[in-house]
Chains A and B, each alone.
Chain A
């Protein structure tokens, strides 16, 4: 017997509204809908519409219906609600870290089912290995990398010059990062900081930027099976102590939680000389920074390191077979070298495959804007974004610990120990299988 969920009332209403077109379309076997995470209209929806049209023109008998579903969070809510109501869109772009959640809900099918020809196999091998880390588990591929990003360091060359630093050289190591930041932090007569050396955002999803620090300290936060975390490993504690020290000991980084959304603004206004943020901000910084800026790989601790981020294509388990096949064709088509390159130029996301960078369109772009190459060069050092079963809850345990340490209510070691205890409790059911 099917159990009701607490959301059933609203879910059924919303779900049937979402699902109805899919059911109607099911009669025309090669027409399928596609959930895409865009909050508002604008250039991105136009790009996707264009892709959909081109795909229809090139592959007769297929119809793609892109549905713009809001933020990533709203999109997965809609996709899973539709799934539970019995009719899901054939494909959705969701966070790569939602892989375990989607598997756990039984909402996705492995991509391997659709790989038949040698050409298919070659295509699956064509992505950057760093992006496949969040797309594969248990020997299967569940997601196709599409709009992917990573964390990089942006710096203000004018402020570097002012501080007597070489404007073309970003910090290469943790020690240099502190040293540079000290030179770049300015205080007024009363001791108030007017310019911070470095800002690393910690609101909302601090774990993502923290993964830069922890990877550089040589630690890995979770295993590839997604059922074990190592939040309190020595390297992780060392990494958090370094981050906390930037604010409390060296006083080159704001104390408390630094807002993700306003950090680029602070950078544009010269209130912080260096910031860590996503490569997805590249176009934003390029448009709004009124000074020459540089983009660099994150500084190295024991090693270089950064997490990847962003969204993958998933194929729904509830869609009819013909729609699944069509959705696979579409995902394959849109991740060809040329189209991945085009997508990179238009949006600032990292092109998901190495051969995209040899295409004329991307070559032309990076010749005039070499900063766009940094993300690619950093990928060999990149690790999988933190992702486990019961992902959002296990991640939140770490987020809470990080914020507690950054606001000074817990010592880093204690905060991480508490987070690990909580993560262990949550993951226990998944360790037995």
Chain B
């Protein structure tokens, strides 16, 4: 009897082992190592690393680029998260209906997700280019004044935010579409019989049933808002004068351009902790209000 239970346990652990080993090796161990390293100075050939306590964190408080990156990132998150989710929902509602050319529209919406971000950024780079860019040509046709979208501090951040929102929306649409199709059709029939308007049906039936998906998408959107920086390398490289420097981009620069690995570790810890907190809040607060079927 005990033998069989033991064997069951062993079985379960053995099955879990590969995934756990990978997680520990590539996620948990680096995270802990990063935390430890954030309390040491950056090793150089002539000056080995020493324990410096919270010095790297003091440096962060005094680093104006860190604060700017943080502010930029908050605006970036505020710009991408609600728009990409709203857009995704809207697109999913549309392509959930039957109409001619539906497959084509679905594919069109999903294309941005399939394309690599670097390729996307290169397309948008020319899209934004003054004079020859598509955007400028369209605006020019309406007699608008030429504008250097990526090259001025007022618009650069907004310009890179739009690219990210556009890229995200198609991906989230897929989840919404799947969730919409899982809603039993008899609910719609019942609503029609009761004479509910389409808006009422959406607000009272569809949207509540989509809440688990919305939570999932929201968590992903928040992570993406702090993770998506590929396009920054192509579009602006953080410029003009750090106007589009996001947190992760700043970490990359500090870590792999400046080779100040100790300070980069401290920055990484801050990013990790804030993301973990955000996820906890999202699950803690929203989960209670979600109706799982």
Q: Verify A259–B125 contact, CB threshold 8 A.
A: yes
Q: Verify A77–B256 contact, CB threshold 8 A.
A: yes
Selecting from A133-141, A144-152, A308-316, A398-406, the interface stretch reads: A398-406
Q: Contacts of A256 on B, CB cut-off 8 Å?
A: 148, 151-152, 240
Q: Contacts of B241 on A, CB cut-off 8 Å?
A: 400-401, 403-404, 407, 409
Contacts A266-B131, A392-B257; A192 near B46 (Cβ below 8 A): no
Looking at the assembled complex, report how far the CB atom of A419 sits from the nearest CB atom of chain B, in whole angstroms: 11
Q: Which of A235-270 contact B (CB under 8 A)?
A: 254-259, 261-262, 265-266, 269
Contacts A193-B146, A203-B236; A8 near B30 (Cβ below 8 A): yes
Q: Verify B153–A407 contact, CB threshold 8 A.
A: yes
Looking at the assembled complex, report how far the CB atom of A265 sits from the nearest CB atom of chain B, in whole angstroms: 6
A-B pairs under 8 A by CB, number? 138
Q: Contacts of B9 on A, CB cut-off 8 Å?
A: none
Q: Verify A259–B150 contact, CB threshold 8 A.
A: yes
Q: Which of B110-129 contact A (CB under 8 A)?
A: 125-126, 129
A393, closest chain B residue (CB): B258
Q: Verify B36–A203 contact, CB threshold 8 A.
A: no
Q: Contacts of B261 on A, CB cut-off 8 Å?
A: 5-7
CA distance A311 to B36 in the complex (A): 36
Q: Verify A409–B255 contact, CB threshold 8 A.
A: no
Contacts A254-B151, A266-B129; A9 near B49 (Cβ below 8 A): no
CA distance A315 to B259 in the complex (A): 20
Looking at the assembled complex, report how far the CB atom of B192 sits from the nearest CB atom of chain A, in whole angstroms: 53
Pick the residue among B45, B131, B150, B253 that contacts A271 (CB under 8 A).
B131
Looking at the assembled complex, report how far the CB atom of A391 sits from the nearest CB atom of chain B, in whole angstroms: 9
Q: Contacts of A3 on B, CB cut-off 8 Å?
A: 37, 40, 43, 48-49
CA distance A20 to B237 in the complex (A): 33
Looking at the assembled complex, report how far the CB atom of B62 sits from the nearest CB atom of chain A, in whole angstroms: 11
A101, closest chain B residue (CB): B259
Q: Contacts of B125 on A, CB cut-off 8 Å?
A: 259, 261-262
Q: Contacts of B262 on A, CB cut-off 8 Å?
A: 5-6
B145, closest chain A residue (CB): A192
Q: Which of B23-56 contact A (CB under 8 A)?
A: 25-26, 29-30, 33-34, 36-38, 40, 42-46, 48-49
CA distance A399 to B257 in the complex (A): 14
B190 within 8 A of A: no
Per the CB 8 Å criterion, the residue count for chain A at the interface is: 48
Contact with B along A99-113 (1 / 0, CB 8 A): 001001111000000
Pick the residue among B37, B242, B257 that contacts A73 (CB under 8 A).
B257
CA distance A104 to B45 in the complex (A): 6
CA distance A194 to B130 in the complex (A): 10
B264 within 8 A of A: yes
A178 within 8 A of B: no
A188, closest chain B residue (CB): B140
Contacts A254-B148, A390-B258; A4 near B44 (Cβ below 8 A): no
B12 within 8 A of A: no
Main secondary structure, interface of A, reads: loop
B185 within 8 A of A: no
A66 within 8 A of B: no
CA distance A255 to B150 in the complex (A): 11
CA distance A194 to B143 in the complex (A): 13
CA distance A104 to B44 in the complex (A): 7
Looking at the assembled complex, report how far the CB atom of B38 sits from the nearest CB atom of chain A, in whole angstroms: 7
CA distance A204 to B133 in the complex (A): 19
Q: Contacts of B265 on A, CB cut-off 8 Å?
A: 5-6
Q: Verify A9–B26 contact, CB threshold 8 A.
A: yes
Q: Verify A9–B152 contact, CB threshold 8 A.
A: no
Q: Contacts of A5 on B, CB cut-off 8 Å?
A: 37, 42-43, 261-262, 265
B132 within 8 A of A: yes
CA distance A204 to B232 in the complex (A): 11
A5, closest chain B residue (CB): B261
Q: Verify A106–B46 contact, CB threshold 8 A.
A: yes
B208 within 8 A of A: no
CA distance A404 to B33 in the complex (A): 37
Pick the residue among A106, A259, A390, A406 that contacts B45 (CB under 8 A).
A106
Q: Contacts of B133 on A, CB cut-off 8 Å?
A: 262
Contacts A5-B43, A105-B259, A254-B130; A259 near B49 (Cβ below 8 A): no
A80, closest chain B residue (CB): B259
B72 within 8 A of A: no
A317, closest chain B residue (CB): B45
B239 within 8 A of A: yes
Q: Which of A400-425 contact B (CB under 8 A)?
A: 400-401, 403-404, 406-407, 409
Q: Verify B148–A257 contact, CB threshold 8 A.
A: yes
Looking at the assembled complex, report how far the CB atom of B153 sits from the nearest CB atom of chain A, in whole angstroms: 5
Q: Which of B250-293 contact A (CB under 8 A)?
A: 253, 255-262, 264-265, 268
Enumerate chain B interface residues (CB-CB to A < 8 A).
25-26, 29-30, 33-34, 36-38, 40, 42-46, 48-49, 125-126, 129-133, 140, 143, 145-146, 148, 150-153, 236-237, 239-242, 253, 255-262, 264-265, 268
Known contacts A8-B33, A9-B34, then 7 further A-B pairs from the complex at CB < 8 Å, ordered by chain A residue = A5-B42, A6-B262, A106-B46, A257-B150, A265-B126, A403-B239, A407-B240
List 25 A–B pairs whose Cβ atoms lie within 8 Å, in order of A's numbering.
A3-B37, A4-B36, A6-B255, A6-B261, A6-B262, A8-B37, A9-B25, A9-B30, A104-B44, A106-B44, A193-B146, A203-B150, A256-B151, A257-B150, A257-B151, A257-B239, A257-B240, A258-B151, A261-B125, A266-B132, A396-B257, A396-B258, A403-B240, A407-B240, A409-B153
List the 9 closest A-B pairs by CB distance, nearest first: A9-B30, A106-B45, A6-B265, A256-B151, A3-B49, A257-B151, A403-B240, A256-B148, A256-B152
